[in-house]
Each structure stands twice: as C-alpha cells, then as structure tokens.
Amino acid sequence: MTLMAAICIAILVVMGLALARAFSAPTVYDRILGVNMFGTKTVLFIAAVGFLNGRPDFLDIAIVYALINFIGMVAVLRF
C-alpha cells in the first residue's frame, strides 16, 4: 500500500468520526461544527484522490465543493 492510499484511508476514518460527532453532539453548534469538519475533510479527500489518480482536474471539483460548503455554513448560521 502506498503512502497516499494510507492517507486516503486515514481521511475516511476522520470523516467517519466527524459524522459521529455531527449525529451525537449535545448542542446544535457542535452538530454544525461536525458537519463543517466533514465538508472540509471531503475537500481534502477529493484533492488526495485526484493526486493519487494523477487527475489534477479533481482539484477544481474540490475548490467548488469548498465554496459550496462555505456558503452552506454561512446560510445555516445566518438562520
């Protein structure tokens, strides 16, 4: 197993922990933090998979997902 594959697996584990935090957090703000952390790790995972497969166009997808994640979090926190 290459180092990049191990990094992708580690990111997936952290994404699972972020989902666990989002579902079992005691307050709404902790849940929002868990969902935001999941979105950030998703951007990192997309970029790592793109690097692993030699597809630099995945970085554009990761940037668009990061912008959608940011706008979504601002919208949720606004209301």
Q: Where are the domains of the chain?
A: 3-78
Contact 19, 37 (CB under 8 A): no
Tokens of 73: 């979090």
50 exposure class (CB count in 10 Å sphere: 0-12, 13-18, 19+)? middle
First and final CA of the chain: distance in angstroms? 45
Per-residue pLDDT tens digits of the chain, which is 79 residues long: 688 889 889 999 999 999 999 999 899 888 988 999 999 999 999 999 998 888 889 999 999 999 999 999 889 888 8
pTM: 0.84
- Separation between Cα atoms, residue 79 and residue 74, nearest integer Å: 9
